[in-house]
Every structure is written in C-alpha cells, then in structure tokens.
A = this chain, B = another copy of it.
Amino acid sequence: MRKSIIFTLCWLASTAVAQQYTKEDELVLPPDYREWIFLSSGIGMTYSGSASQNPAFENVFVNPEAYRQFLKTGTWPDHTVMLLEIRLSESRVSINKDGRVQTTVRAIEAHVKDSARGGWAFYGFQNGADKGKIFPKTADCYSCHQQNGATDTTFVQFYPTLIETSKNKGTYKETGH
C-alpha cells in the first residue's frame, strides 16, 4: 500500500510538466527532459542517402510515464512526449583520438501525442527557444512517420530496448530497406 502511494506520488511528480502549451499553442520545452528516459542515440542518420562529413548525434528521450505504459502495452499512451535532441559532434576532445563525442545542441524537436489536439504532432524549437512551433500537418515528417514508423508512427525500430516489447505485444510493423 505504502509502495503504491509512493509510486503514485512519483508518477504525479514525474508527469506534471511533460506537456504544456502557451496561449499561442506553442509547446513549452520540458525543462527536465534530460532527466527523462533515454531511448537511443544515432549518429549521422539520413533517410535521403546524403552522408555528412561532420555528423550530428540524435538523442531521443521520452517522459517516464509514457515509457512505463509502453512497456506494459507496446504502444504510446495519450500525452506521450518524445524529445529529439540533435547535438554536434567532435573527434579529438581531451584524450580521445578517434570516433566522435557529443558537444553542443544544434536543434530540438518534439513528437507529441495529444488526442485533444488531433493526435500526434511535431514541434520545432528554433535557435535555443524554450517554446516550439507546430510543424504543419503537410510536412514530410508526418507522412514519413506514418509510413515508416514501426510502432504507432514512432521509430521504435531504432530504440533497441523497446523493439522486443513491441513485437511481443503485436504492435510492431516491419519497415522496408
């Protein structure tokens, strides 16, 4: 009993600020997203085939309550917020001699599930802004995620700790090469 009270309180504390909007319908950047659940990093990922000589890392975080629900159900609950943090990279930092390490943030985007606002939407935070503008529903990201997202329009195929759960729950869609 005490454990469930603690869990409930933690749940309230951890989800309180996941999803807030301004009066202008901008998404407020969750100030604590770096304390959310890390899903994975890629580097230099591209869907067009044009490689970069100075590739960026892409870190993906999700709010803790959505992550726990996903582990139970294999899909994302309403009010899921996924944050894509794009960071520049360098190679020769301190004693590192090859490969790449992460440096400064170049851009942040959010993918938000909100049934009260018509389902999933993408937001972009420009130049360090702490409020993100919605991408129009005609933007490529919507159709690409719809077509190629393994699970519920999200790229679970790139999140190694979620793939098995999604497959076991029957929510995983194989996507082409």
Which of A's residues lie within 8 Å of B, judged by CB?
6-7, 9-10, 12-14, 34-35, 37-38, 40-52, 55, 57, 59, 61, 64, 67, 87, 92-104, 144, 148, 150, 155, 157-158, 160-161, 175-177
How far does the alpha carbon of A109 sit from the alpha carbon of B106 in the complex, in Å? 30
Judging by beta carbons under 8 Å apart, are A158 and B93 in contact? yes
Judging by beta carbons under 8 Å apart, are B59 and A160 in contact? no
Q: How far is the CB of A25 from chain B (nearest CB, A)?
A: 29
Judging by beta carbons under 8 Å apart, are A99 and B13 in contact? no
Q: How far is the CB of A82 from chain B (nearest CB, A)?
A: 14
How far does the alpha carbon of A52 sit from the alpha carbon of B67 in the complex, in Å? 33
Hey, which chain B residues are within 8 Å of A102, CB to CB?
Answer: 40-42, 158, 160
Residue of B nearest to A87 (CB): B160
Which secondary structure dominates where chain A touches chain B? mixed
Contact flag A42-B100 (CB < 8 Å), given A13-B6, A34-B161, A37-B35? yes
Q: A50, A61, A155 — which one has the most chain B CB atoms within 10 A of its CB? A: A155
How far does the alpha carbon of A66 sit from the alpha carbon of B127 in the complex, in Å? 30
Q: How far is the CB of A100 from chain B (nearest CB, A)?
A: 5
Q: How far is the CB of A89 from chain B (nearest CB, A)?
A: 8
Judging by beta carbons under 8 Å apart, are A34 and B35 in contact? no
How far does the alpha carbon of A86 sit from the alpha carbon of B37 in the complex, in Å? 18
How far does the alpha carbon of A43 sit from the alpha carbon of B96 in the complex, in Å? 11
Q: How far is the CB of A156 from chain B (nearest CB, A)?
A: 10
Hey, which chain B residues are within 8 Å of A96, CB to CB?
Answer: 42, 45-47, 158
- CB < 8 Å: which of B99, B101, B160, B176 contacts A104? B160
Judging by beta carbons under 8 Å apart, are A43 and B161 in contact? no
